[in-house]
Amino acid sequence: MGALVGAALLVAAGIGALGTAPATAAPDGATPLGRIVPAPAKVTPGGSAYEITAKTRIRVDDASKDARRIGGYLADVLRPSTGYRLPVTDDDAGDGIRLELSAKDKALGAEGYRLTSTGRSVTIVAHAPAGLFHGVQTLRQQLPAKAESDSRQSGPWLVAGGTVEDSPRYGYRSAMLDVSRHFFSVDKVKRYIDQLALYKINKLHLHLSDDQGWRIAIDSWPRLATYGGSTQVGGGAGGHYTKAQYKDIVRYAASRYLEVVPEIDMPSHTNAALASYAELNCDGVAPPLYTGTEVGFSSLCVNKQVTYDFVDDVVRELAALTPGKYLHIGGDEAHSTSHEDYVTFMNRVQPIVAKYGKTVVGWHQLTEATPIKGALAQYWGLDGTSAAEKAQVAAAAKNGTGLVISPADRTYLDMKYTKDTPLGLAWAGYVEVQRSYDWDPGNYLPGAPAAAVKGVEAPMWSETLSESAQVEYMAFPRLPGVAELGWSPAATHDWNTYKVRLAEQAPRWDALGIAYYKSPQVPWNG
Ligand code: TNX
């Protein structure tokens, strides 16, 4: 694309103001409208800024519980730092912050919103609650970073004047947390959910089982959790979620408009299950628990009926805990399962997922079998993946299989940034911040139709990670970039302007207690 055409597109997308200008505030001290992550689809700056004061009320539609809940959420974010009462009221006439659900604004879709800021009010209009919630995230980012503080700060609390009209490029914008290699408590998962919500991520993929640990209680096979969940990489105590705890995670995620996508990885990555129940093994002998980090050595016994009884029970119980649409069945790295057995297994398991009303998601090896109608394949290849493997996934996409794009050498948040990164792995290479951002999910997989791409994911594998601070160091600053690839129009994509907006997020992470990697590629101090 020529530079002039590129610039014209940026202006057409309404983000000319995001250009290469230095990271200075607008004349009235407010963050320039739209200078947020992910970049909004359309920004029309103008008019005077709105100021949140001690008198500000949050006005919601009295008919909507969702709008009231989102108003309460916004008040909870802003009360500690501003010190204001910010009452949520259903008296929806008057000045202040207004959250409106509009049946007629269908063009805003399931997740879009319009934010209008004037001297008297900030109004967020959406067609659906998720859009209101995303609009609230935009409002948060337009306020000074210290608005995120949990102690009282001094204002002024200005929101630049103008209008943002915004809706996502993709409906599937996911982050994965591997709670198997190391177990993460409910509170740690909630903390991550809050961070994902700030960047408009709408799926939390939980990798609930692997060789090192089974993390979800299944009543019909209780030893999966009590024994199979009793350790982790390195031999620590591990853990598992009771059904009540898991429902708590699902509910919390839903309150932040994230859908939980649970994964039971099969037929390999199953040592924790095989260790818990001898009958799942072809030789009837249970292996010991495993606390190392090798992959691909375990396999369910494909030719035993009990295997499918087991899968049926697990999928039934997990589906019952899952209000969301998707259930992920893994299917990666089945190195100790023959190709024939793998195909048999995946083709038998997919209808079980469908029987319990869920849509299949699998790692892209699923395309070696026959993806069921409506299935999504999660592409995790890298530049070096063979042309044949890429072609196989592309062929499935041409046949109607949807794609979630999560290239290991772009979006794997567990990859080291450089050789000096103290945490993480390097099998897919080093992934610095620019590399993780500077690509296009729409044309990433050669031969796959753009329409097959449903979205992106940033997986966080946890072989080397067990604490929130470690997860955050690997996620920030790469996660916001993947979130932007999922949300923002391709026409806004530009590393040179993105890196400036990204740098402007850092004071917000400081206020939130997120210790991020200070990549030399990002101009942190303007
Ligand atoms: C590959 S990506 C895996 C995981 C590892 C990860 C580490 C994929 C589907 N499988 O088993 O944890 O690499 O980066």
Residue 423 Cβ contacting ligand 1 at under 6 Å: no
Ligand 1 pocket member 409 (CB < 6 A): no
CATH architecture of 43-166: 2-Layer Sandwich (3.30)
Looking only at Cα atoms, what is the longest distance across the chain? 74
Answer whether residue 195 shows pLDDT above 50.
Answer: yes
Confidence of residue 481 (pLDDT cuts 50, 70, 90): very high
Give me the long-range contacts of 72-79 (CB less than 8 A, separation at least 24).
73/133, 73/136, 73/255, 74/99, 74/136, 74/139, 74/140, 77/140, 77/147, 77/148, 78/52, 78/143, 78/147, 78/157
| Known catalytic residue at 333 | yes
Mean pLDDT of 411-429: 98
Cis peptide before 520 (omega within 30 of 0): no
Q: How confident is the model at residue 151 (pLDDT cuts 50, 70, 90)?
A: very high
Looking at ligand 1, which residue's alpha carbon is closest to its atom 8? 332
Mean pLDDT across the stretch 384-390? 97
Decide if pLDDT at 35 tops 80. Answer: yes
Mean pLDDT of the chain: 94
Nearest protein Cα to ligand 1, atom 6: 461
Determine which one of 333, 389, 457, 484 is catalytic. 333
* Ligand 1 centroid – CA 455 distance (Å): 19
Helices (H), 143-210: 186-198
What share of the chain in percent tops pLDDT 90?
Answer: 92
Task: Quote the pLDDT of residue 104.
Answer: 94
Q: What is the pLDDT of residue 28?
A: 64
Centre of ligand 1 from the C-alpha of residue 483, in Å: 20
Q: What is the pLDDT of residue 91?
A: 87
Give the whole-angstrom CA distance, residue 129 versus residue 232.
38
Bigger pLDDT: 490 or 5? Answer: 490
Q: Which residues pair with 403 in a beta bridge?
A: 377, 453
Q: What is the mean pLDDT of residues 248-275?
A: 98
For the entire predicted model, the pTM comes to 0.95
Ligand 1 atom with the smallest distance to the CA of 380 is 2
Residue 471: which pLDDT band, with cuts at 50, 70 and 90? very high
Residue 412 alpha carbon, nearest atom of ligand 1:
14
Please tell me the residue having the least CA distance from ligand 1 atom 4.
461
pLDDT tens-digit series, residues 67-119: 999 999 999 999 999 999 999 999 878 899 999 999 999 999 999 999 999 99
Fold entry, domain 172-493: TIM Barrel (3.20.20)
Residue 524 pLDDT > 80: yes
**Does ligand 1 come within 6 angstroms of the Cβ of 211?**
no
Q: What is the pLDDT of residue 5?
A: 33
The verdict on the CB of residue 379 being under 6 Å from ligand 1 is no
* Best of 208, 461, 462 for a ligand 1 pocket test (most atoms within 8 Å of beta carbon): 461
User: pLDDT tens digits for 2-16?
Assistant: 333 333 333 333 344
pLDDT, tens digit, for every residue of 284-336? 999 999 999 999 999 999 999 999 999 999 999 999 999 999 999 999 999 99
Ligand 1 contacts CB of residue 363 (under 6 A): yes
Is it true that the peptide bond before 156 is cis, omega within 30 degrees of 0? yes
Domain residue extents for the chain: 43-166, 172-493
333 pocket-lining for ligand 1 (C-beta < 6 Å): yes
CB burial string 437-452: b at 16+ within 10 A, e below: bbbebbebbeebeeeb
Per-residue pLDDT at 26: 55
pLDDT exceeds 60 at position 163? yes
C-beta 148 within 6 A of ligand 1: no
SS3 assignment, position 312 = helix
Mean pLDDT of 217-221: 98
Atom 13 of ligand 1, residue of closest alpha carbon: 461
Q: Which atom of ligand 1 is nearest to the CA of 181?
A: 12
Q: How far is the CA of 436 from the centre of ligand 1 (A)?
A: 17
